[in-house]
Every structure is written in C-alpha cells, then in structure tokens.
C-alpha cells in the first residue's frame, strides 16, 4: 500500500452517526443523568435539573433532522422531559410551534398536550388546541387521531358522554384508520367493560374438551390468564 493511500485512509473522517444513533445516545445519557439527579433528592425543574438540558438537546436533534422519522420521537421525549420538570409553559410553547402537518403528531404529541393541560389544571389548554388542530387537519386520518385524543382526554376526566361523542367523531372521520378502530374499542370499553359489569358473552372450547361460556363463570371467582407460547 502506497503512503498516499495510507494517508487517505487515516484521514478519512469518522462516519457521522445517524439521527437514530444520535437519538439513542442522547436518550441513554439523559436517562442516566435524570436517574442520578432524581436519586439525589433534588427537586424536579430546578435550574440544575438535567431534564432541561436534555430536553433542549433533543429539540435540537429534531430541528437538525426534520424529515427523519426519529424527529417525532425526539420531539415527544423532549416534551416529556419538560413536563417531568414541571415546565408546562415551555412544553406548550414548543407544541404550539408544531404545524398540523408535522410528522411528530404521529409520535404521541397529543398525549403530551393532555399532560400539559392536566399540569396547568385547565382543560381549555387541551381543548382549544385540539379544536385548532381539527380545523387545520390535513386529512381524515389526522382528524380521526385528534378526535380520538379528545375522547381519551374526556375519559381521563371521567366525562363519559363527551368521550363517547368524540370517539364517534373519530369513527365518522375514518372508520378504517388506526384511530377509527381504536375509537371503536374505546366505545366498547366505556359501554361493556366497566368494573362490576357482566363479562362479555363468550363460548369457547377448552383444550381439555369442555365447552366454556359465561354460565361457567358463576359460583366461583375466575381468572383469565392471557399468554402466548412464543
């Protein structure tokens, strides 16, 4: 190997880590530092809280790689760190900077918005933004997603009728979309799976060859253990 070629090889710059690798490294460091900080007993949200610094780093990553699917995760985790630090206003300012077309909405930002609303103790924090998102929704899938999030918001507030109405709206917006389907399950949950309600009707054969149905649940407490062989 000639000296020129050798020099070229040695001078080759190290490959840039991908956005996903950078995200993994940031998250690992963030977790370690936040753990250490939490164990030290220091209060969340103080100036020295490492959550603030890592929230900023993750937001930077999002800005550097707006087209990468990892940007959504970085966005969500940045917001989560801010909310864990009790900085709801800062989290909301960042949420408000996201366009309805931002891919990050698909990564659970509406859940962070709900959490911010809870922290602020003001349901309007959530509902005003949800209404704006609905008005600007780029497509049916997004509308279904927002209606679904509104439904979940009402579920956590134990506002059953409003929750059902929002889930119905999600189904109307897109019954075959992911959130249309999940809305159907949520309505079923609200109507038929409350504690104290009779188990939904079922009739299944058992591996021992018995026909088992609701009548067999009577007379003794029963435990269903959901599992898989794999």
Partner 1 sequence: MRERYSKNGVVFLGVPADEEEAPVRQAIARLGIPWDHLFDGRGFEGPLWSDFNVDGTPSIYVFDREGRIEAKRTSAPKLAEILEKLTAK
Query: How many whole angstroms separate alpha carbon 196 and alpha carbon 193?
Result: 8
Q: How far is the CB of 167 from partner 1 (least distance, A)?
A: 13
CB under 8 A: which stretch of 40-48, 64-72, 100-108, 221-229 binds partner 1? Answer: 221-229
Query: Is 198 near partner 1 (CB under 8 A)?
Result: yes
| DSSP of 41-72 | TPPTTSTT-HHHHHHHHHHHHHHH-TTSTHHH
CB under 8 A: which stretch of 22-30, 119-127, 150-158, 220-228 binds partner 1? Answer: 220-228
Query: Is 227 near partner 1 (CB under 8 A)?
Result: yes
Residues 156-195 that bind partner 1 (CB under 8 A): 185, 188-189, 192-195
3-state secondary structure of 211: strand
- Cβ atoms 63, 53 nearer than 8 A: no
117 CB-side CA count, 13 A: 22
Query: How many whole angstroms separate alpha carbon 53 and alpha carbon 185?
Result: 39
Q: How far is the CB of 209 from partner 1 (least distance, A)?
A: 9
Interface size with partner 1, residues (CB under 8 A): 36
Q: Smaller CB distance to partner 1: residue 11 or 208?
A: 208
Contacting residues toward partner 1, per CB under 8 A:
185, 188-189, 192-202, 204-208, 210, 212, 214, 217-230
């Amino acid at each position: 190997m000639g000296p020129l070629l050798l020099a070229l090889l040695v001078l080759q710059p190290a490959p840039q880590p991908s956005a996903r690798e950078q995200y993994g490294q940031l998250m690992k460091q963030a977790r370690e530092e936040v753990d250490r900080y939490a164990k030290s007993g220091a209060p969340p949200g103080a100036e020295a809280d490492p959550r603030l610094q890592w929230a900023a780093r993750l937001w930077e990553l999002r800005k550097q790689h707006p087209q990468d699917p990892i940007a959504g995760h970085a966005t969500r985790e940045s917001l989560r760190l801010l909310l864990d630090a009790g900085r709801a206003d800062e989290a909301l300012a960042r949420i408000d900077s996201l366009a309805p077309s931002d891919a990050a909405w698909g990564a659970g930002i509406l859940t962070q918005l709900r959490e911010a609303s809870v922290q602020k103790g003001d349901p309007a924090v959530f509902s005003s933004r949800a209404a704006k998102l609905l008005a600007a929704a780029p497509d049916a899938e997004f509308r279904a997603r927002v209606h679904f999030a509104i439904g979940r918001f009402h579920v956590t507030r134990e506002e059953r009728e409003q929750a059902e109405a929002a889930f119905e709206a999600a189904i109307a917006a897109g019954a075959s979309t992911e959130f249309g389907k999940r809305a159907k399950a949520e309505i079923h949950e609200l109507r038929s799976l409350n504690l104290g309600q009779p188990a939904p009707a079922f009739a299944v054969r058992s591996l021992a060859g018995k026909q088992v149905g609701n009548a067999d649940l009577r007379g003794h407490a029963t435990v269903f253990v959901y599992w898989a062989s794999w």
